[in-house]
Structure 1
Amino acid sequence: MRVGSTEKEIDGVLERLKELGFKGSLSRGVERTVVGVVGQTYPELADELAVLEGVADVVPVSRPYKLASREFKPEDTVIKVGDVAIGGGNTVIMAGQCSVDTEEQMMATARVVKEAGGHILRGGAFKPRTNP
């Protein structure tokens, strides 16, 4: 969307996508708002969207994981887990057991992870065993 586009313009694009049978995925960044198109597109769609009010540019993203692409969301994603921020250039160490069997085992693992500089303790709550 154009920098400074209005809510009415953004809603207009989302509504038009819905009318055309697509789902619009909205991402508001610090500098710009991006409307992603979810669904199987066709070549003329870019031209149809480019003429809508508030649209600055239409950029096809044809690779997998479109919603996670830099074209859709240029800024880093940061996820908070308690006091720990994952992403945005932060290095986070997460360690633990694949399968938690006993509380004693988990507490011993927690001490080792903390002593080694780990930030997050992980543990699998359910791990089905395979049989030969």
Structure 2
Amino acid sequence: MARDQAKALRAKMTDAERQLWYRLRAHRFQSFKFKRQVPIGRYIVDFVCLERRLVIEVDGGQHADSKPDQTRDQWLQQQGFRVLRFWNNEVFNNTDGVFEVIVEHLGHSAPAPSPGTPLRVEPPSPACAASLLGGEGKKE
């Protein structure tokens, strides 16, 4: 049941969750593996890095002073998780600040850039360079 509910939540992520997930997914952030909408006990957390036991929740206004959220956070902490909560508007308006807080809790100093195409370490061979220039290296 929790797996089905988690799957449904993954399909219905909020815009703030989607924005955060874009930077967390696929080991893009500090090479840590984050998962989204994961059942832990009877709860489903927005994001979790199991390696660092860090839970990240993204909340709208309906969560202000929520007793169920406090109970949930307490239970997660008793299971050895640290819980970070961010408001939707923080994710939208201060994304870098949100990630600075996440970095502090992961124990690293700065976020690594998203992986891109690796830079070529050595120059292309003369034959390859010539073919790229449309010739065989003929002198004029």
Task: State the TM-score, normalized to the length of structure 2.
Answer: 0.33
User: RCO (CA 8 Å, sep 6+): is it higher in 1 or 2?
Assistant: 2
Indicate the structure with greater helix content: 2
Task: State the TM-score, normalized to the length of structure 1.
Answer: 0.35
